[in-house]
């Protein structure tokens, strides 16, 4: 039985992480939630017991085993080293450590062996992690040379405040009232915004470049060429991606569908005769990544395929990927 802290998450992420801890049967002795003073002393009912959110205090690391950080870059940089000095293993959702050469960047379905005895394990960006849950079975059998990705990302990326802004601005739009954009660069109601994170010198955004940087680190392979366009859309929880792949070998669409159907955490949703394909509305509240619209690309043909994926980024990425990493570590010790 282990003592586990969830550090500085949003309310929505706390709930999903706790659900995952319960569903994956993580053996818990004590579970605590930490946040800033502003959120402290609120209560949250869970499957384990009622939890009181406590203000972050480095002294509490003294008798802790594992910490799940969803704290943002600054807080992760500050508190993760403090936790490590007290022999606490940190699994971090932020970008604070993703590009450190000594910190493993883990997608559990792909490179669990890279965890070894690391004291900090980084969770990839949501677009990278879910992309590779869907694409990895194809990569293993057919190889991969290039990818062109377009993301359609929900407001949950910005936590509860992002989702609240979508709901409030939608109401105001329908009532012809003045709207404010505090969370996003522009009004998100009935709109989409091709701008997530800061623009880089190459005119891509940081969110777009993360897919390249993180893929190269996960696979230790800089030869995979990737271009990404990241777009914010007016949905609540679920992200989607349109993915175009160039493989090493000529593709067999029926075989690829079989691969995906039999892959963990992947649900094949591809019945175009009945208008069944991945959509954000259907992907919410589910662990599986939905994959469909699988076809050969008619521009490049035999070595190119296209597919479309949707997933609940709050549940699947922010929570499940981190808890799966924790489960791998715990299972190794048994």
Give catalytic status of residue 186 as yes or no.
Answer: no
pLDDT in the model for residue 277: 98
Of 20, 228, 239, 303, which one is the catalytic site residue? 239
Q: Are residues 234 and 304 in the same domain?
A: yes
The CATH code of the domain that includes 79 is: 3.40.50.720
pLDDT in the model for residue 221: 87
pLDDT in the model for residue 235: 96
Q: Are residues 102 and 142 in the same domain?
A: no
Give catalytic status of residue 126 as yes or no.
Answer: yes
The CATH code of the domain that includes 299 is: 3.30.360.10
Structural domains in the chain (count): 2
**Four-CA torsion 247, 253, 259, 264, nearest 10 degrees:** 90
Q: Are residues 210 and 322 in the same domain?
A: no
Q: Are residues 216 and 307 in the same domain?
A: yes
Q: Are residues 6 and 137 in the same domain?
A: no
User: pLDDT by residue (tens digit) across 84-140?
Assistant: 999 999 999 999 999 999 999 999 999 999 998 999 999 999 999 999 999 999 999
Q: Are residues 142 and 94 in the same domain?
A: no
Q: Are residues 102 and 137 in the same domain?
A: no
Q: Are residues 42 and 181 in the same domain?
A: no
pLDDT in the model for residue 334: 66
Cβ-based neighbours of 324, under 8 Å, separated by 6 or more: 20, 24, 108
pLDDT in the model for residue 230: 97
Q: Are residues 302 and 159 in the same domain?
A: yes
Q: Are residues 161 and 304 in the same domain?
A: yes
- pLDDT means per 10 residues, the chain with 334 residues, are 84 85 93 77 79 78 90 87 93 94 94 94 94 95 96 90 95 96 95 96 97 94 95 96 96 95 95 97 94 94 93 89 95 80
Q: Are residues 77 and 213 in the same domain?
A: no
SS (H, E, C) 116-170: CCCCEEECCCHHHHHHHHHHHHHHHHHCCCEEEEEEEECHHHHHHHHHHHHHHHH
Q: Are residues 115 and 137 in the same domain?
A: no
How is residue 304 written in tokens? 């190119």
pLDDT in the model for residue 258: 96
Determine the structural domain holding residue 50 and report its residue range: 2-124+318-333
Burial-class residue 195 by CB neighbours within 10 Å (0-12, 13-18, 19+). middle
CA distance 57 to 50: 20
Of 126, 216, 274, 303, which one is the catalytic site residue? 126
Terminal CA-CA length for the chain: 11
**Four-CA torsion 89, 94, 96, 98, nearest 10 degrees:** 80
Whether this prediction's pTM lies above 0.85 is answered by yes
């Amino acid at each position: 039985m282990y003592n586990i802290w969830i550090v500085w998450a949003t309310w929505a992420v706390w709930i999903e992480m706790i659900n995952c801890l319960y569903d994956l049967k993580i053996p818990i002795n004590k579970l605590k939630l930490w946040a800033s003073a502003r959120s402290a002393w609120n209560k949250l009912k869970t499957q384990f017991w009622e939890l009181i959110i406590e203000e972050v205090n480095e002294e509490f690391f003294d008798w802790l085993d594992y910490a799940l950080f969803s704290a943002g870059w600054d807080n992760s940089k500050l508190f993760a080293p403090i936790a490590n000095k007290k022999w606490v293993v940190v699994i971090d959702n932020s970008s604070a450590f993703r590009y450190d050469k000594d910190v493993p960047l883990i997608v559990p379905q792909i490179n669990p062996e890279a965890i070894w005895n690391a004291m900090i394990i980084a969770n990839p960006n949501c677009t990278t992690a879910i992309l590779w849950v869907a694409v990895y079975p194809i990569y293993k059998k057919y190889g991969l040379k290039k990818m062109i990705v377009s993301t359609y990302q929900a407001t949950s990326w910005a936590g509860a405040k992002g989702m609240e802004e979508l709901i409030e601005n939608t109401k105001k739009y329908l009532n012809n009232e003045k709207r404010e954009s505090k969370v996003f660069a522009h009004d998100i109601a009935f709109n989409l915004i091709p701008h997530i994170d800061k623009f880089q010198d190459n005119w891509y955004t940081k969110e777009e470049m993360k897919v390249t940087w993180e893929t190269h680190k996960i696979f230790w392979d800089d030869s995979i060429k990737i271009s990404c366009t990241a777009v914010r859309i007016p949905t609540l929880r679920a992200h989607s991606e349109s993915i175009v792949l160039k493989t090493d070998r000529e593709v067999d669409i029926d075989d690829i569908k079989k691969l995906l159907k039999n892959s963990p955490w992947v649900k094949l949703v591809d019945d175009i005769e009945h208008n069944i394909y991945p959509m954000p509305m259907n992907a919410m509240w589910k662990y599986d990544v939905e994959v469909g619209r699988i076809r050969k690309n008619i521009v490049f043909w035999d070595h190119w395929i296209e597919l479309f994926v949707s997933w609940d980024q709050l549940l699947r990425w922010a929570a499940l990927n981190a808890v799966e990493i924790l489960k791998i570590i715990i299972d190794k010790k048994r």
